[in-house]
Structures are given as C-alpha cells and as structure tokens.
Amino acid sequence: MKAAYINRYGNIDDVQLDEQSKPLITENDVLVKIHAASINPLDLRVLEGEFKAIQPVKFPFILGNDFAGTVVQVGANVKQFKAGDDVYAKTDQNGAFAEYTVVQQSSLALKPQNISMELAASLPLVSLTAWQALVEIAKVQAGQKVLIHAGSGGVGSIAIQLAKHLGATVATTTSGKNAQWVKALGADITIDYKTTDFEQELKDYDVVLDTQGGKILEKSLNVLKRGGRIISISGPPDRDFAEAIHANWLLKCIIPLLSWSIRKKAKKRGMTYSFLFMQPNGQQLSEISKLVEFGKINPIVDKSYTFPEIKDALQYVNTGRAKGKVVVKISE
C-alpha cells in the first residue's frame, strides 16, 4: 500500500512516499481503507522527534493521526462495525497517511452522515481534544465563562463551537483579521493577540483551554477566578500523563516535576492545572457525530491536498497560518 512514512526523526524532507506493508488485524481490530486524513501540528512534532525520550516510535513509522474511510475487514471479536461502514477515528496503532490502517473498535465511530470523508477526517483529534477538555475534565456548565486560546486553529475552532453549545460565554485570542470569522463560530469576545493583552481584558473566568504553553499559560492564571481550571495541551505534562503513557518508574518521578511550578502557582491561587493527553475514544466520537449531524459543530477545513502533495500540506501546517484543518485525500 502507498504510505507517507519516516525512517528517522528529522524534518519534512525526510518524509518518504512509497510502498509499505498492509497492516494485519487481530480479533479486536478493524481494517479501514482510508479516503482522507488530516494533518495536525502533532504530526510535525512526532516527525521532529520531540517525544522520542518519552514515546519512541518504531521505524519505518507511518505518520498521521486522523482519518475517515470505509471498513474493509473486522476481527473475530468486533461486533459494532462491519465491512462497508463509513467510519472515522483518531489512530491508536498504525498511522493515517496510508491507504489502509488498523484501529481498535473502541477507538472507532461511524462517520457523521451529513458530511464528506474530507470533512470527517478533519475532526477526530481536535474534536476529541475539545470534548475531553471541556466536557470530561472541566465539565463546563451553562453560564460559565471559558477562554479558548488560538480560536482560529484546529482545536480552537472546534472548542469554540463546543463551548457555545454547552452554554458558556466564550472568549478567544486570534489575529484581528480572523475576529469576525471566530465570532461566526460562536465566540462572544475576541482578543487580538497582536495588539491587546488578554490578561488586561478578561477576568473571573471559570475555564481556560491553553493551546500555546509558555508565557501564555502563565498569564492565563490571571484571568481565572478562584476555583477555576486551566487545561493545557501545550504546557508541561503532569502525573496523569505519566500514567497514561505507562511510563517507567523513573519517568513517573521525573515527568510531574516538569509541571511542578505551574501547578504550585495555580494551587496557591485556589486554581487547578491539568495537562491534557488526548486519548482515542469511539464513544465520545459518536457523541461528536450527533452534534455534527444536528449542526452544532461544523468541521473547518482550510485547504485540501492530494496524497502526492502531502509534503506541501505539511509545510503549510508548519507555517501556523491554517484556519481550521488541512486535509489530504488519500483515495477516492
């Protein structure tokens, strides 16, 4: 099968487009023919080897985390899906930049019926991130105030819609040129990060979803009220992350130290810091499918590329200018 893969950590020039072996399934797996995949900043971080000390990959490694496609074969224990089903998921074993992938049935969901394969492929990672942050961890309630950083990005554009559906007042940071665009998604308040300091404009927020880390994460504590919660996908990892990746005893001691400072600062103010390590979850993705079919969440795709153009797609994502997601058509 054709695939985009790496034989070593490096940069986009190290991505190879060539043949790889078609994956085999076990009794709990589903084999999917991929129609479309989407690119996330995470793919570039994996390519560059950012996580090699914590989660090393086995080469050759097929890149890609998001896909939509059609079930070809199911394992003996699979009861939820059958050949011919149109599905989508966040990968849990093999990569998504290939003609076929294998995924556990617990990670898979039926594709929303009202959208294309390309639109469906844009959703799994970003929508599960938003769901696990706002629904599972923060338990956002109607009337609460939520700040979502980088509202025009892949995670931000979906998180705004989800937070609005949950009944929250939503503020977001974005560039001035994207202000009206994110308002159309549901943002009540927009902060132009190029001209305005968000911590001077916002206060008494219940939840912050941080996608930036660094100084933005630190400053976000200043907009939270006592009892508030900050959830980061870019900040330092915590003990829960160490448990989630089944780290060895040494890493379980080291990893929580990375977030010690921000956790201490949050606790001192009566706030809670959490690092979100998004996990594949077919049940949650099924709930997201319902929201898509009801028109509560609309996938946002900036550009679409063909499989031979996948390096160009990666380069575009690497610029950080994408509004929403970038999709690659793998097959018809």
How many alpha carbons fall within 13 Å on the CB side of residue 47? 26
- Looking at residue 53, its pLDDT comes to 87
The structure tokens 């000390």 sit at 53
- Looking at residue 289, its pLDDT comes to 98
- Looking at residue 72, its pLDDT comes to 98
Centre a 10 Å sphere on the Cβ of residue 216 and count the other Cβ atoms it contains.
20
Residue-wise pLDDT tens for the chain (332 aa)? 999 999 999 999 999 999 999 999 999 999 999 999 999 999 999 999 999 988 899 999 999 999 999 999 999 999 999 999 999 999 999 999 999 999 999 999 999 999 999 999 999 999 999 999 999 999 999 999 999 999 999 999 999 999 999 999 999 999 999 999 999 999 999 999 999 999 999 999 999 999 999 999 999 999 999 999 999 999 999 999 999 999 999 999 999 999 999 999 999 999 999 999 999 999 999 999 999 999 999 999 999 999 999 999 999 999 998 999 999 999 97
Structural domains of the chain, ranges and CATH numbers in brackets: 2-123+299-329 (3.90.180.10), 126-275 (3.40.50.720)
Phi-psi region of 270 (alpha: psi -120 to 50; beta: other; left: phi over 0): left
Burial 48-80 (b: 16+ CB within 10 A, else e): eeeeeeeeebeeebbbbbbbbbbbebbbeebee
CA distance 270 to 277: 23
- Looking at residue 275, its pLDDT comes to 97
Q: What is the pTM of this model?
A: 0.97
- Looking at residue 54, its pLDDT comes to 87
CA distance 302 to 258: 35
